[in-house]
Chain A
């Protein structure tokens, strides 16, 4: 499948739908260890993204960068600059040829942007715990094509998300809770898994 503007728009639309669907779930997760705004913030940001006129963009890269800027200005919480950076970097690295390896490189650029912004590493109980293994799994499976690689990435992402449950948060608002943050699934890892699910469904 070509990784063109329409594909990028399908992905963001599916992500927006999944966020809307899981908005309360994300709010509940965040209420346990954060400030209960993750679902609402992301939903607000993605609804703004959905207002963008896709046809006005010259390339999928430009579109995705605009998605990033929109999230930066509308999400409000920490996920604004984090998701914003992800989409900005993703858009900048979006493969013109639409090959599987190029998409892997773009995803990794997005991951690196998040890590640079949030200074989080695997084990800090953040979205990085889900996204990092997902990007690794994608690269490992990229030889089989975009579809299987995204499926593998989504599965790894879900596993990484589940693995955040026993962790003690070391970044973000949840880190104020210290040991009490253990036993709860990280909302950021949960929402980024929705992003990979959406990618597997729409780009595969």
Chain B
């Protein structure tokens, strides 16, 4: 067994260090340890002669490891080697290890009978655990005292991995990587070789995310520390597993996945206590304490948020991964270290959270990758949760029970609500057709919009709401409650009836067959639609289906997805709308310059004029799919006849290479197309009226803008007139409506009265609209 000499300026320090290390190993198993420390019991200093004597005292053929503290201890030890002579000096190693950590490691390792080199290596790695724990950037590895960084004493393991994930290492696979490598005693530095970004520690999700790793990029890893080999193996295993995404090779958007056939329609009556909620946390009244207090508060607040996130991550459902990823973001040791040091510098916990998270969000928002940009939302959401916790404001949106009162319902909030707990939503401003409102409705949460008076309702006021009439009852009387009960029963009966008869064709009382189809954005939509009796799809939103792709899908890839959707709809007719980018729907693989007025810019077919190859590829996909399943194609954002002749020519080319028949239609979304629909009649087989855009362009009112939403809400006479003109021009041929008007059963009779023959609606509402066709038209 090797011998160990402890050299220190202080005899007391050396004795205490030996005592500490001795606790690790029973006395009989311990190596010989000698102390050469201090000039006497109280005088600080080192003595080369005493060190030489100590070395000789524990010397054996196995050798001696000398651990020293600083300064003259090193000089004196080197001198001692000269004093003991070359024979003994030849088997003595002066270890650069930290004296306390190194001695513990040395004593433990030596007691196993390990050789001198092993003991010294373990001693030198003594700081690794501390560096790993406190984070690689804690200063431990970079300070002036780290000239002999213990980790550099070990050979680093290196590997390179090509990223095969379709969307690169976005949040979920990045979180899997961080979680998979957590808890190992190893320092793992990751670099994106392709983009020359990094290195970042693998313990930091934020760091890994900022590498911007995309498909085809090379991830290079440099691993040191005792568990380096384990870490390397784990990393390779994670990579082989596609960082948990191996099955996710079919990138069809599974959004709104929780819409099951039994889901609420969002039309039900809701009665419950009101709860106000603001997405902005008011921190003005926050009273900062001492740095120590602030640190405690911060730690507790983060702990609370984490506990909630972990709880939510354990719940079944599509969103659990989002919460898990948020938790990992928040557990990032680097982030915590930055926050803590900010507090130590005298900032309040609220200040430092707002400041640091805003900076991190800005960093992510500036990245090229839309997936990574979305993480900025997570960061902002985390900042709100922590500041809410710090200021004592309840922010538990997912656990909110009763009726939510909110100024405006944004999509993020709408997706955060738990349909099992949140009975309904009342917005103070904002229209009924905003995206947030549509998401809430799609998730089965009834919404009443534009209730300015609701702003002043005290929390826990009992309110009742009817999303169909857009009515709100505040503190309902017994009579009100009886009315609500009656309405509720009607709605339930309606829903039951709709669902019982949903698979039957929808025929009006006068005997007209109306096709009730579904608007499809995902495979889940197709399944939901089929379960609710859809007569196919009147609108397949290709730009949403493929929004996640970072390369333009080939004709074959698109055709495969179209076929899956058609299968999901039991092989019924699907209507593929060609790429409809622009406005608020950017596509990664379809670059567009920023426009001053995007809604009046290069949308829909207009963008295809610039990118005919992309258009041609999609038309080929439609042609390919048409050989296997009934499919139609339609062109969005038409305003001029010339656009249609061009598109028709393109379709002809695509069909020339493939045998197949495809009916061709256009969307009526502009007043120009509606007014002159007759001009298009000789050119196309059918039309589909996109009422959302038609309303927006007719009324010159942005439906997302609360200030003018009332103009865009419902349909004004001018819009009805335009629908009538367009339908009239296509009398005797298919006339569809795929905008939101089609999803409102109350309007079904009026649309049919104008000559509409197909209604393409939100998937869960198919049965209800069919019922409206049967009973009201």
A contact set with B: CB distance below 8 Å: 37, 41, 69, 72-82, 84-85, 117-118, 172-173, 175-176, 178
B contact set with A: CB distance below 8 Å: 9, 38-39, 43-50, 70-72, 75-76, 78-79, 144-145
Q: Is the CB of B76 within 8 A of A80?
A: yes
Q: Is the CB of B45 within 8 A of A41?
A: yes
Could you list some 15 contacts between A and B, CB below 8 A? A37-B44, A73-B48, A74-B47, A76-B43, A76-B47, A77-B45, A77-B71, A79-B72, A80-B72, A80-B76, A81-B46, A81-B75, A82-B75, A85-B79, A176-B144
Instruction: Please name the 4 residue pairs, one residue from A and one from B, whose CB atoms are nearest each other, closest first.
Output: A76-B45, A78-B72, A81-B75, A81-B79
Of chain A, the residue at the smallest CB distance from B50 is A73
Q: Is the CB of B144 within 8 A of A76?
A: no
Q: Is the CB of A72 within 8 A of B76?
A: yes
Bound-state Cα–Cα, A172 to B71, Å = 6
Min Cβ gap B68→A in Å is 12
Bound-state Cα–Cα, A79 to B70, Å = 13
Min Cβ gap A86→B in Å is 12
Min Cβ gap B527→A in Å is 67
Min Cβ gap A46→B in Å is 15
Residue of A41, A117, A176, A178 near B75 (CB, 8 A) is A117
Of chain A, the residue at the smallest CB distance from B43 is A76
Q: Is the CB of A72 within 8 A of B47?
A: yes
Q: Is the CB of B44 within 8 A of A78?
A: no
Of chain A, the residue at the smallest CB distance from B45 is A76
Residue of B49, B78, B145 near A69 (CB, 8 A) is B49
Which residues of B lie under 8 Å from residue A172 when comparing CB positions? Answer: 71
Of chain B, the residue at the smallest CB distance from A69 is B49
Which residues of B lie under 8 Å from residue A175 when comparing CB positions? Answer: 144
> What is the interface of chain A mostly: helix, strand, loop, or mixed?
helix
Which residues of B lie under 8 Å from residue A72 when comparing CB positions? Answer: 47-49, 76, 79
Q: Is the CB of B72 within 8 A of A77?
A: yes
Q: Is the CB of B48 within 8 A of A84?
A: yes
Which residues of A lie under 8 Å from residue B44 when comparing CB positions? Answer: 37, 76
Which residues of B lie under 8 Å from residue A84 when comparing CB positions? Answer: 48, 79
Which residues of B lie under 8 Å from residue A69 when comparing CB positions? Answer: 49
Min Cβ gap A118→B in Å is 6
Bound-state Cα–Cα, A73 to B46, Å = 8
Bound-state Cα–Cα, A99 to B75, Å = 32
Min Cβ gap B73→A in Å is 9
Q: Is the CB of A80 within 8 A of B144?
A: no
Residue of A41, A81, A173 near B76 (CB, 8 A) is A81
Q: Is the CB of A117 within 8 A of B49?
A: no
Bound-state Cα–Cα, A72 to B77, Å = 11
Min Cβ gap A93→B in Å is 16
Bound-state Cα–Cα, A75 to B43, Å = 10
Given the known interface contacts A85-B79, A175-B144, A176-B144, the answer about A80 and B46 at a Cβ–Cβ threshold of 8 Å is: yes
Q: Is the CB of A76 within 8 A of B46?
A: yes
Which residues of A lie under 8 Å from residue B72 when comparing CB positions? Answer: 76-81
Of chain A, the residue at the smallest CB distance from B49 is A73
Residue of A75, A117, A176, A178 near B45 (CB, 8 A) is A75
Which residues of B lie under 8 Å from residue A37 when comparing CB positions? Answer: 44
Min Cβ gap A23→B in Å is 16
Min Cβ gap A44→B in Å is 8
Residue of B38, B76, B144 near A178 (CB, 8 A) is B144
Bound-state Cα–Cα, A80 to B76, Å = 8
Bound-state Cα–Cα, A117 to B74, Å = 9
Residue of B38, B39, B43, B78 near A81 (CB, 8 A) is B78
Min Cβ gap B616→A in Å is 66
Which residues of B lie under 8 Å from residue A41 when comparing CB positions? Answer: 45
Which residues of A lie under 8 Å from residue B45 when comparing CB positions? Answer: 41, 75-77, 80
Which residues of B lie under 8 Å from residue A75 when comparing CB positions? Answer: 45
Residue of A77, A117, A173, A178 near B79 (CB, 8 A) is A117
Which residues of B lie under 8 Å from residue A81 when comparing CB positions? Answer: 46, 48, 72, 75-76, 78-79
Min Cβ gap A103→B in Å is 24
